[in-house]
Amino acid sequence: MYRIRFHGRGGQGMKTASRILGTAFFNEGFEVQDAPRYGAERRGAPIFAYVRAARRAIYERGVIRHPDLVIVADETLVAMPAAAVLQGVDAHCVVLIHSREPAPVWQHRLNLAGPVVILPLAEEREDRLALRQIGTACAAAAARLVGVVAWTALEQALRDELAALGDALVEANLGPARRVYDFLSPQQGCVAPGPVVAAEGYVRPDWVELAFEDARVSAPAIHAALTSEQVQTGQWRTLRPVIDCARCKGCWWVCSTFCPDGAIQVDESGRPRIDYAHCKGCMVCAAQCPHHAIEAIPEQDAPPAEDERGAK
Amino acid sequence: MTRMLLTGNGAAAWGARLAGIEYLPAFPITPQTEIIETIAKWIDFGELDCRMTTLDSEHSMITAAGGAAVTGVRVFTATSSQGLLYAMEMLYTTAGWRAPFVLVNVSRGLASPITLEPDHNDILAARDSGFLQLHCATCQEVLDGILLAYRMAEDGRVRLPVIVNLDGFYLSFTREPVEVPAAAAVARFLPPFDAQNLGFRAGAPLSEAVAVLGGSPYSYFRYQHHLAALNAEAVFEESAVAFARCFGRSYQAVEAYRCDDAELVFVMLGSFATKAKAAVDCLREAGQAVGLLRPLLLRPFPAAALRRALAGKQGVAVIDQNLSPGKGGVLYTELASALYGQADSNPMLVSFIGGLGGRDISAEEFYEMAAVTRRAAAEGQAPEPRLLYAEAELCEIKKWQAIAQVQRAKEGQP
Amino acid sequence: MSETRFQTMKDLPSCHLLGTGTALCAGCGGLEALHEIYDILGEKTVVVNAAGCMTLLAVYPFTPFRGSWLYTAMASAPAGAQGVRDALDILLAKGRLTAEEDLQTVVLTGDGAAYGMGLSATSGAIERGLDFLYLCYDNEGYGNTGQQYSGATPHGARTATSKGPCGYPGYKKDLFAIWAAHRPAYVATVVGAEPLDLARKIEQAKNRQGPRLILSLAPCPTGWDFDPSETAQIGRLAVQTGVWPLKEYRDGQVVHTKVPQKRLPVEDYLKRQGRFAHLFQPQRNEALLQEIQARIDAYWDNLQS
Ligand SMILES: Cc1ncc(C[n+]2csc(CCOP(=O)(O)OP(=O)(O)O)c2C)c(N)n1
Ligand code: SF4
Ligand code: SF4
Ligand code: SF4
Ligand SMILES: [Mg+2]
């Protein structure tokens, strides 16, 4: 059985990727399971979707614990513990990363025993079309790497799954998909179907006796304030707002008022400061600043932000 | 202490009054309404320092009850049948908040067809809600049960809401002598509400009843809820000992009547169990070793006590005043699961469905259930579940069907 | 409005009280309004919430609130507020809570709850004169479940359950009028994109007693299909085109607090949102566009007369 996991951000079309790949496998006569991890999918937040495909009935279900192929649509997710990109990745598993850096760099950085394949990052195009194309490209990459999905099956899947978006969009996606599919032809078939967890010599679950705890601690209640600030929503960002101090007139803090997340505080000297640990990169501030003092910079090109590591 | 004639509803109101309830969110429904009317009158005439708010529905009523309980006051409320079902989402929800309060349910059969008369499908629909359940057999037990319920609900080892159940009509509107304890004695048994770490106030931020993401935290909270519910059995036993010391009446999680030397045992819930008691006495007089077991506590389910009491018995007649369509009696299923897989107790279990929608159960029917159960025990084979329904009843229905169809034919054809 | 402490934009809070790090979408217009409102209401509040996007504000063990919060269910947040308010009053009366420890009871729900499932509970709370502040963030659909149409969805909008060529066939319910018909202490419409107007109204509401209800338009990049950076712009366009009249009901009167002198054509608002794209592509749906414009014009014409 093939077990493939797609990691991306909400809005990058990971669900679509899993559906295209699932349908392509199906067109090739496979039994298939595809699903997004369901939950609150927010644009920019890490999400994943997965596909299983086999020549016989699939009895496994749910999240893939031991993937054969992990596809990372957004390289900034790799360092993010919450994204759990590398969960269950072992020497058998192929990792495909959408990145500008070459495979050996990633191999070394992540200390991976298995193969790493790079899907080069296209030139920056932060429009919605580009975002959707990431998902399609990822599906095409997976189809090529498993080696058992012909272009015709993939093309049909793509047409079927994107049909609702209209012909123009389907055509706009076919080209890039084909290019990815061709580009990875040297790696065709590098993903091998993985084994099942054997019933012999398995690792015993470390079950515990859950002991009673008083409702004072065991009720779903939070006896504290502002604990959400421990959640680093700054990691959702693909664009970073940067205030140009020279242009900022310290107006009535339009940026700070409109920032939906309250991620811009005004310091004692009356200057706005962006809390990059939590700024989600919506760019409302940039759009609203009357003096055009806030610039949007793609995250990859931006230096690590000062206060990104700790909560403010 | 005074002894007076009280209906079950009156006893419920007295239980609430003696418990010193501070808040009563309310909504009317037959046969419960008399409870809130009685308390409303006491409030209006200054006899009870309590705030009452009538909400727009039972769903809202239980939400308000839970909201007030987690804010830190002693809350009482009451409903019945359709109201209990309308509130169902909030039963699960407020129990999950670990909000301690007491809800009286006056059992009434559920629509459809809509009826006013009692059976236990309403209360058993709330079986898995996370509320604890006390099932009363007499008006006295209604009053006493409410006091016991507050002790359980508010105990740190439990902190869960409790439903005290009484049967519509057979208890709700039926007067019996009830000993009403003195307020001072009750105050010794039931101290004022200790809200522990519950309560919204400035300077003590509290985000209550928050969401979880993922099965792990969910499993933890749900299982803790379960463990707290299990604790409630020991807390009940302790409270019952204290209750006996204060008021001289003793209660067990499972009431056993002439069971010790019984060969056959009736098992049933609620007020009709006193009919079974009468039948037991007559059967005993006729030389038959028959007893009765009546769980007063249904949640937590007193499985060990039932197992102990039924060990070595020949046969058990489980009489369900409820029906799970496509399955059968709920109490029968619960009991079977408690007995199955045990090394030493394997009495023959026979299932009877009776008393649906307030249908009476006659003495003769009890005798016959004993006979059927004895036969099954001897043969080692349980018969199919039996609905208590007589030839004469069917004849009546046939007559009515004729009328109903004549009516339809008239309208349908020109 | 001379009594306000919010005379100019400069008077708006520059420090924000609602915590960051919540799971709401980047660019959420509802969150924009909520954080502006929370700045004024402050932490002496208990926010009683109904199921919707905002339920994900507090996910164990993370909360953005400085004060308190209680999640209830979709239909009954106003009833939860009733229970909490009643209990606080009981505690105050019995001396178990000091006046300084007391909290404002705030209900926070989406439009799905406010216009539909929770309307009975709201009506009951108003008729009982409950001392609370209701805040509805109106993203014009069941957002948390993927933006199906609700009683608040505007005519013609595409939602997950109205994907046909004409979009949603129904008309947005007039919740302001329904609320005002109950004669509560205060009702107002606001939008996060008009923060000064919003601040004055929340100040008004805060200083009154009894039922006070705030209806905030909540531009929703996810459900309305626009780029998250445009949230404030779209909110402002809703006001400038007359789609979202800013008004208040107080002392038995309805007053418009910001009458657009020269209303922009509604198209300016519709065009920016994917949910109305079918009105322009593949060809303009002139009839529907005219109908939408005519209804807005009629609203404002009625006011004049
Ligand atoms: C009784 C009930 N029915 C349905 C749901 C599913 N549900 C959760 S949130 C939601 C949408 C609520 O819509 P709205 O009030 O507009 O809030 P929004 O999601 O837009 O923030 C629904 C239908 C629920 N939680 N409870
Ligand atoms: S809106 Fe622009 S000018 Fe005003 S404070 Fe922010 S960055 Fe400075
Ligand atoms: S991009 Fe600007 S407005 Fe958006 S979250 Fe970041 S700081 Fe706030
Ligand atoms: S779906 Fe809309 S209302 Fe809900 S969190 Fe996202 S932007 Fe906000
Ligand atoms: Mg909504």
User: A284 CB less than 6 Å from ligand 3?
Assistant: yes
Residue A252 Cα, ligand 2 centroid: separation in angstroms?
A: 7
Question: What is the domain range of residue A100?
Answer: 2-187
Gyration radius (Cα) of chain A, Å: 22
| Residues B127, B205 share a domain | yes
Q: Which residue puts its alpha carbon closest to atom 5 of ligand 3?
A: A279
| Cβ contact C61–A226 (<8 Å) | no
Question: What is the domain range of residue B352?
Answer: 254-392
In-domain check, residue B76: yes
Query: Can you give the pLDDT at residue A123?
Result: 58
- In whole angstroms, give the CA distance from residue C32 to residue C54: 12
In-domain check, residue A171: yes
Query: Can you give the pLDDT at residue A312?
Result: 34
Residue C24 Cα, ligand 5 centroid: separation in angstroms?
A: 13
Query: B287: which DSSP letter?
Result: T
Query: Can you give the pLDDT at residue A132?
Result: 66
| Residues B153, B208 share a domain | yes
Q: Which residue puts its alpha carbon closest to atom 3 of ligand 1?
A: C74
The gap from C-alpha B285 to its chain's centroid, in whole angstroms, comes to 31
B209's torsion region: left (phi>0), alpha (psi -120 to 50) or beta? left
| Residues A230, A168 share a domain | no
Residue A58 pLDDT level (bands cut at 50, 70, 90): very high
Beta bridge partners of B180: B2
Give Cα separations from B118 to A199, B163, B169, B274 (angstroms).
53, 16, 7, 16
Cβ distance C62 to A227 under 8 Å? yes
Angle, in degrees to the nearest 10, between helices A167-183 and A128-146: 40
Closest partner CB to C31 (pick from A224, A227, A260): A260
| Residues A91, A48 share a domain | yes
Closest partner CB to B197 (pick from A211, A213, A223): A223
In-domain check, residue A16: yes
| Residues B163, B24 share a domain | yes
Using a pLDDT cut of 70, give the percent of chain A over it: 93
Closest partner CB to C84 (pick from B68, B205, B210): B68
- The predicted-structure confidence for B54-76, as pLDDT tens digits, reads as follows 999 999 999 999 999 999 999 99
| Cβ contact A265–C16 (<8 Å) | yes
Query: Can you give the pLDDT at residue B108?
Result: 97
- In whole angstroms, give the CA distance from residue B91 to residue B132: 11
Using a pLDDT cut of 90, give the percent of chain B over it: 95
Q: How many residues does chain C have?
A: 305
- In whole angstroms, give the CA distance from residue A27 to residue A148: 11
Q: Which two tokens stand for residue B167?
A: 């049967």
Q: Is residue A201 predicted with pLDDT exceeding 50?
A: yes
Which of C41, C54, C60 is most worth mutating to test chain B (most B CB atoms within 10 A of its CB)? C60
Residues framing ligand 4 (Cβ under 6 A)? C 24-25, 28, 30, 53, 139, 143, 218, 220-223
| Residues A242, A96 share a domain | no
Residue A266 Cα, ligand 2 centroid: separation in angstroms?
A: 10
Residue appearing with tokens 């400069």: C10
Q: Where are the beta strands (DSSP E) in chain C?
A: 45-49, 68-71, 104-110, 132-138, 186-191, 211-217, 246-250, 253-258
Q: What is the mean pLDDT of residues C144-169?
A: 96
- C156/chain B closest Cα distance in angstroms: 34
Q: Which of C222, C230, C273 to mutate to test the pocket of ligand 4 (most atoms within 8 A of CB)?
A: C222
Mean residue pLDDT across chain C: 97
Q: Which residue of A has its CA nearest to C52?
A: A40
| Residues B166, B91 share a domain | yes
| Residues B188, B119 share a domain | yes
**Exposure pattern of C12-39 as b/e (b: 16+ CB <10 Å)?**
bbbebbbbbbbbbbbbbbbbbbbbbbbb
In terms of C-beta density within 10 A (0-12 exposed, 13-18 middle, 19 or more buried), how is residue B364 classed?
Answer: exposed
Q: Which two tokens stand for residue C56?
A: 């994900």
| Cβ contact B90–C97 (<8 Å) | no
Cβ distance B86 to B55 under 8 Å? no
CATH of the domain at A7: 3.40.920.10
| Residues B294, B239 share a domain | no
In-domain check, residue B407: no
* Domain end position, chosen among B247, B269, B294: B247
Mean residue pLDDT across chain B: 96
| Residues A177, A42 share a domain | yes
In-domain check, residue A228: yes
CATH of the domain at B354: 3.40.50.920
Contacts of C224 in chain A (CB under 8 A): none
| Residues A61, A119 share a domain | yes
- CB contacts under 8 A, A 179-218 vs B, are 210-216, 218
Cβ distance B70 to C72 under 8 Å? no
- B252/chain A closest Cα distance in angstroms: 24
Q: Is residue A125 predicted with pLDDT exceeding 70?
A: no
| Residues B97, B207 share a domain | yes
Chains that touch B (3 or more CB pairs under 8 A): A, C
The gap from C-alpha A155 to its chain's centroid, in whole angstroms, comes to 23
Residue B343 pLDDT level (bands cut at 50, 70, 90): confident
Residue B152 pLDDT level (bands cut at 50, 70, 90): very high
Q: Which two tokens stand for residue A59?
A: 């009895």
- C72/chain B closest Cα distance in angstroms: 7
- In whole angstroms, give the CA distance from residue C47 to residue C104: 8
* Domain end position, chosen among B247, B279, B309: B247
| Residues A182, A294 share a domain | no
Residue appearing with tokens 């209701």: C134
- In whole angstroms, give the CA distance from residue B411 to residue B400: 17
- CB contacts under 8 A, A 220-279 vs B, are 220-225
| Residues A168, A33 share a domain | yes
User: A291 CB less than 6 Å from ligand 2?
Assistant: yes
How big is the A-C interface in CB pairs under 8 Å? 147
Q: Is residue B409 predicted with pLDDT exceeding 70?
A: no
* Domain end position, chosen among B247, B277, B307: B247
In terms of C-beta density within 10 A (0-12 exposed, 13-18 middle, 19 or more buried), how is residue A78 classed?
Answer: middle
Beta bridge partners of C134: C107, C213
In-domain check, residue A199: no
Query: Can you give the pLDDT at residue B405?
Result: 84
Which residue, C197, C206, C195, is CA-closest to C255?
C197
| Residues A246, A165 share a domain | no
Which residue, A211, A209, A221, C71, is CA-closest to B228?
A211
Domain topology for C9-304? Rossmann fold (3.40.50)
| Residues B198, B79 share a domain | yes
Q: For chain C, which residues make up each domain, given as ranges?
A: 9-304
Gyration radius (Cα) of chain B, Å: 22
Query: Residue type for A262, please?
Result: G
| Cβ contact C79–B72 (<8 Å) | no
What's the domain count of chain A?
Answer: 2
C140's torsion region: left (phi>0), alpha (psi -120 to 50) or beta? left
| Residues B267, B228 share a domain | no
In-domain check, residue A44: yes
Query: A76: which DSSP letter?
Result: G
- In whole angstroms, give the CA distance from residue A7 to residue A19: 14
Q: Is residue B209 predicted with pLDDT exceeding 70?
A: yes
Query: Can you give the pLDDT at residue C59?
Result: 96
Contacts of C66 in chain B (CB under 8 A): 205
In 3-state terms, what secondary structure has residue A21?
A: helix
Gyration radius (Cα) of chain C, Å: 19
- The predicted-structure confidence for B110-148, as pLDDT tens digits, reads as follows 999 999 999 999 999 999 999 999 999 999 999 999 999
Q: Which two tokens stand for residue C77?
A: 């947040």
| Residues A159, A254 share a domain | no
| Residues B218, B170 share a domain | yes
Peptide bond into B113 cis (omega under 30): yes
- A287/chain B closest Cα distance in angstroms: 33
Closest partner CB to A40 (pick from C23, C58, C231): C23
- CB contacts under 8 A, B 381-400 vs A, are none
Mean residue pLDDT across chain A: 91
Query: Can you give the pLDDT at residue A309?
Result: 41
| Residues B300, B331 share a domain | yes
User: A241 CB less than 6 Å from ligand 3?
Assistant: yes
Q: Where are the beta strands (DSSP E) in B29-180?
A: 51-54, 76-79, 102-107, 132-135, 162-167, 176-180
Residue A195 pLDDT level (bands cut at 50, 70, 90): confident
| Cβ contact B53–C86 (<8 Å) | yes
How big is the A-B interface in CB pairs under 8 Å? 59
Which residue, A282, A285, A276, is CA-closest to A232?
A276
| Cβ contact A219–B97 (<8 Å) | yes
In-domain check, residue A200: no
Query: Can you give the pLDDT at residue B414?
Result: 47
The contacts of residue A85 (CB under 8 Å, 6+ apart) are: A7, A70, A72, A77, A78
Q: Which two tokens stand for residue C32?
A: 């924009």
- C231/chain A closest Cα distance in angstroms: 7
Residue C159 Cα, ligand 5 centroid: separation in angstroms?
A: 11
Query: Can you give the pLDDT at residue A126?
Result: 47
Cβ distance C150 to C142 under 8 Å? yes
Give the helix/strand (H/E) hosting A272.
Answer: strand A272-274
In-domain check, residue A311: no
| Cβ contact C103–B201 (<8 Å) | yes
In-domain check, residue A256: yes
What's the domain count of chain B?
Answer: 2
Q: Is residue A127 predicted with pLDDT exceeding 60?
A: no
Q: Is B138 on the interface with A (CB under 8 A)?
A: no
Query: Can you give the pLDDT at residue A311?
Result: 36
Task: State the CB neighbour count (10 A cutoff) for residue B411.
Answer: 7
The contacts of residue B412 (CB under 8 Å, 6+ apart) are: none
One-character DSSP codes across B231-273: HHHHHHHHHHHHHHHHHS----SEEEES-TT-SEEEE--STTH
